[in-house]
Amino acid sequence: MNKIKVAPFVPGEVDIKETGKNSVEISAWPFEPGFAITMAHPLRRLLLGSSIGYAPISLKIDGVKHEFDSVRGMKEDIAVFIINLKNTKFKIKEELDRAVVEYSFSGPREVRASDLENDQIEVIEGDNIVLATLNEDAELNFKLEIAKGIGYIPSENIRESVDSEAIALDAFFSPVKKANYRIENVLVEDSPNFEKIVFEIETDGRITPREAFGNALETMNKQMQVFGQVFDIDLEATKTKGKSESALKQLLIPIDMLGFSARSSNSLERAGIKFIGELVLMSENEIKSIKNLGKKSLDEIMGVLESHGFGKDFELDGKLRADLIEKIKQLKA
């Protein structure tokens, strides 16, 4: 007979793996059947559409009136120079929405994107991009405005907000190069139908994949607040309760599911410790005092606690502590 539920299962496991310089794999599980895609699809949309990035939005060059002009002694036309600027990945160093920077170069030389870096602006992998090639008679003086934003904004929508003498640029802010997900089945108790979301996220370096995912989660939470107002639901309180329930589930993970070595597992079993939460309730000195537990086993245990988010800095609040103690008593009765 199927167990009757009064609320959906709350996922409690999250794993983050660095898969490259600017790429991560983020997994969460277990979700009720059908719930994983309900969460994954909007998060993917938000990753692609609401991740904060930086882009040049206007360019003013001495002696240049429009994007089809040229600079004496510069090999590239202004149109090509603009394309090279658009391919450059900028980041404003301080917490500012906009930055205006001025540059002056004289030839003969190559002007690379890395040459634009200064106290205000960081350029990602700028050595790989040649912006302009100047001969011995050339002078290139320009002012560049860089802004913080999301998504894509065409130049015609930017023109009114920049210097009237500057060339407005199409702005592609999104730093996310890839945001994919897959759904896998996981076993929970006797059911093989629970689900796991695995996100694959890659950015161009202007922000990290973790920051992009955090932006998406924050945006989703803010968008949901409107319904909380209408239906008198405190989403912040609900979120806090959800975190507490999730933490309790993690604290009740059985010791034999944590991959301990045989030596550590045997010591914990002889001490009657069955759940990770029992270790969290103990001080490091109390763990040290477990019979036949050597330094190597102690280091292994502390490492596992840290990897599950229960390191030295983790603190059990009063209610969670009480709930954990009560639940352990029930399970070990």
Q: What is the CATH number of the domain that holds 211?
A: 3.30.1360.10
Q: What percent of the chain has a predicted confidence (pLDDT) above 70?
A: 93
- Are 126 and 180 within one domain? no
In a shared domain, residues 195 and 140:
no
Out of 171, 186, 206, a domain closes at 171
Task: State the pLDDT at residue 2.
Answer: 57
* Last residue of one domain, picked from the residues 171, 189, 214: 171
Q: Quick check: is 5 in a domain?
A: no
Cβ atoms 290, 271 nearer than 8 A: yes
CATH code (residue 73): 2.170.120.12
Residue 324 has pLDDT above 70, yes or no: yes
Question: Is 118's pLDDT higher than 90?
Answer: yes
Percent of the chain with pLDDT over 90: 47
At residue 261 the predicted structure's pLDDT band, cuts being 50, 70 and 90, is confident
pLDDT band at 232 (very low <50, low <70, confident <90, very high): low
HEC sequence for 301-329: HHHHHHHCCCCCCCCCCHHHHHHHHHHHH
Least confident of 7-11, 78-82, 138-142: 7-11
User: Residue 274 sits in a domain of what CATH number?
Assistant: 1.10.150.20
**Model confidence at 152, in pLDDT bands (50, 70, 90)?**
very high
Asked if residue 259 has pLDDT above 90, the reply is no
Domain that holds residue 180: 13-51+176-233
Same domain (yes/no): 203, 188: yes
What distance in Å separates the CA atoms of residue 51 and residue 179, rounded to the nearest whole number? Answer: 11
| 3 within a domain of the structure (yes/no) | no
Structure tokens at 62: 């001495």
Least confident piece of the model among 2-16, 51-65, 92-106, 178-192:
2-16
For 204, the enclosing helix (H) or strand (E) is none
- pLDDT at 1 exceeding the cut of 50: no
Instruction: Determine the pLDDT at residue 308.
Output: 75
Number of domains in the chain: 3
Please check whether residues 145 and 68 belong to one and the same domain: yes
pLDDT for the residue 130: 96
45 and 182 belong to one structural domain: yes
My answer on whether 34 and 103 are in the same domain is no
| Mean pLDDT for the stretch of residues 243-261 | 75
pLDDT-derived band at 245, boundaries 50, 70, 90? low
Residue 98 covered by a domain: yes
| Tokens 């609900």 sit on residue | 238
Among candidate residues 127, 137, 108, the one with its CA nearest the CA of residue 116: 127
274 within a domain of the structure (yes/no): yes
Tell whether 186 and 324 lie within a shared domain: no
pLDDT at 257 over 80: no
Facing residues of 24 across strands? 18, 201
Number of neighbours of residue 125 by Cβ within 10 angstroms: 12
Q: Which of 311, 333, 330 has the alpha carbon at shortest distance from 322?
A: 330
Residues 75 and 162 grouped into a single domain: yes
3/209: higher pLDDT: 209
In a domain, 238, yes or no: no
The verdict on 70 and 164 lying in the same domain is yes
Instruction: Give the lowest-confidence range in 123-132, 167-176, 310-319.
Output: 310-319
Mean pLDDT estimate for the chain: 87
Q: What average pLDDT score do residues 95-117 get?
A: 94
Does some domain include residue 161?
A: yes
In a domain, 216, yes or no: yes
- Looking at the fold, whether 182 and 276 belong to one and the same domain comes out as no
Q: Residue 46 has what pLDDT?
A: 94
Q: Taking the model in full, what pTM does it have?
A: 0.66
Q: Say yes or no to pLDDT of 216 above 60.
A: yes
Contact 18, 210 (CB under 8 A): no
Per the domain annotation, does 241 fall within a domain?
no
CB neighbour class for 324 (10 Å; exposed up to 12, middle 13-18, buried from 19): buried
State whether 46 and 189 are in the same domain: yes
Per-residue pLDDT, 234? 57
Q: Give the pLDDT confidence of 15-59 residue by residue, as tens digits.
A: 888 898 899 999 999 999 999 999 999 999 999 998 999 999 999
* Closest among 212, 180, 197 to 53, alpha carbons compared: 212
My answer on whether 47 and 181 are in the same domain is yes
| Low-confidence winner among 127-136, 203-212, 305-314 (lowest mean pLDDT) | 305-314
**CA nearest 131: which of 116, 118, 112?**
112
